[in-house]
Structure 1
């Protein structure tokens, strides 16, 4: 007679394995784990955080600042008193590098974050309302794209904007100008993606239920393009830092007495043979900044991609565990 209460060892082992495999893990946890498994991306994050920390606390490790002149050490190479040497005016390069790194990171973070936020709201609004609203907003977008950013920066930070320039520091003026011209491309991409989301059932259901447009945009459209926004933030920070360096290098960006990496690089270019430390120190910091952001961007792209190779170790480990469990089941069954 067959015992109905008997338990098959093979079936029990298989059920236990399935129960362990069905543990639900949040999407943010999965993305974080994939990112942390990418050693290159983690190294980029560590470099960026180290430079950010250096820009905020590095000034406490030297008695000099970016305005104090040392008349006894003019154009001197790195020494125990001046860690990175002095400029041809006798100003400590270490203090100027700390200040310049902080200004460049500040410009990059503000422009990168705010421009993506503006692009998300603008693009999602265009896609949600459509029709005449979309056409009008698209016209404004195309008009801004056609404006010469280089000319506007030159006017805003030079004699043409003298009244405004006297009231605001040059780095804040540059942030405002970069914000005006840095969000249009992302907004067009977000508009096309949001238009496809507008055809999804959850958006239509929210509309039929009378959910306000602002809530639909913030709760349904923006979160569903979150991966694109995160990647655009890192790209936007990099682009803003490079734009600051480029504009300051040619003399239409940040102006003295404000200091940035672009100002330091541009001021030392003509004297790279005489004062090489004045050129290579800020250039190295710029490369570390942009390189670390590029490494982080690659890691984030792999982390958001379900088919990414960054989860290869976990897949191999799971496959190995599955093979071990199957062999145990077969042994118990036999």
Structure 2
């Protein structure tokens, strides 16, 4: 079975520019221009940046601490003193939203970036060595995929003693999601890496005696950059949704730690009595995951030379 060489999408745009006499633009500028012409993707980026600013700078705007109880305003709606209202115990929801959003974003970024890096190294290593080494690594990968991650999360984050008493719950959940979040991407990267192994620059590096790990890091990983960027945004979204789902059913982050999943789970039973406790974190989650999805779609179109949804990023000679 022969493997077809997959051309770099951005190189196609550069070659077309050279053939038509246009000024050649760098790969990065082409991608940025195509992304910035996609209004939906730019809107997603703006929303994501605003949410990140809210989760970091919001601590300087809040009037109450997340643990402070206002006994004179228990279960009250949004007001001048409590912008997002208070919980049934009298805690300020705005302060808890700042903390919860920051925790969810932090988990998403760590898991998304870490899982993408692990998948890139593991998948490219399988593609480079091939043969028996690839079969062993693929067997390990398939074995890990069959392990029920929800059971591991429940064991690690529940019960007393051990790691749970010494490490914050969100850190434990981040580690578990990181362990199980890279496997699907690694299989995809392996397939693409196998096609890159037939390229001339890889064969030349092998002929010159370049160490295998250096070939993987300097030649294979950079040439699947577009896939890694898309996997990064998907990984962040997956981690945030997983955190919300696990915390919602009570096996993820638990009180006193706060996250979007914790806030949504705690307010579900009181949605009719305290609707603001449910809708504020739920809307924040929709904006967060929705902005990431819009960014992912924009990046996919920016890396795709056949996409016409954002026009052409060419600069004509004067």
Query: TM above 0.5, one fold?
Result: yes
Residues 255 and 212 of structure 1: CA distance in aligned 2, closer, same or farther (over 3 Å): same
Matches within 5 A, 1:103-252: 103-159=103-159, 162-252=161-251
SS in 2 for 1:162: coil
Displacement of 1:130 = 1.4
Query: If you compute each CA radius of gyration, which structure gives the higher value, 1 or 2?
Result: 1
CA RMSD of aligned residues (A): 1.8
CA distance in 2, matches of 1:62, 1:186: 40
Larger RCO (alpha carbons 8 Å, 6+ apart): 2
Residues 298 and 168 of structure 1: CA distance in aligned 2, closer, same or farther (over 3 Å): same
- 1:71 matched to which residue of 2? 71
CA distance in 1, matches of 2:77, 2:59: 19
Displacement of 1:19 = 11
Structure 2 residues without counterparts, runs of 5 or longer: 1-17
Displacement of 1:314 = 5.4
Contact 2:115-2:178 at 8 Å conserved across structures:
yes
CA distance in 2, matches of 1:311, 1:270: 45
Displacement of 1:243 = 0.2
Displacement of 1:293 = 0.3
Q: Number of paired residues?
A: 301
Contact 2:63-2:81 at 8 Å conserved across structures:
no
Q: Which one is further off, 197-206 or 73-82?
A: 197-206
Residues 314 and 134 of structure 1: CA distance in aligned 2, closer, same or farther (over 3 Å): closer
- 1:101 matched to which residue of 2? 101
CA distance in 1, matches of 2:217, 2:19: 36
Greater share of helix:
1
CA distance in 1, matches of 2:161, 2:239: 24
Contact 1:303-1:310 at 8 Å conserved across structures:
no
Displacement of 1:241 = 0.3
CA distance in 1, matches of 2:256, 2:310: 49
CA distance in 2, matches of 1:105, 1:237: 8
Residues 158 and 211 of structure 1: CA distance in aligned 2, closer, same or farther (over 3 Å): same
Contact 2:263-2:278 at 8 Å conserved across structures:
yes
SS in 2 for 1:310: coil
Matches within 5 A, 1:27-46: 27-46=27-46
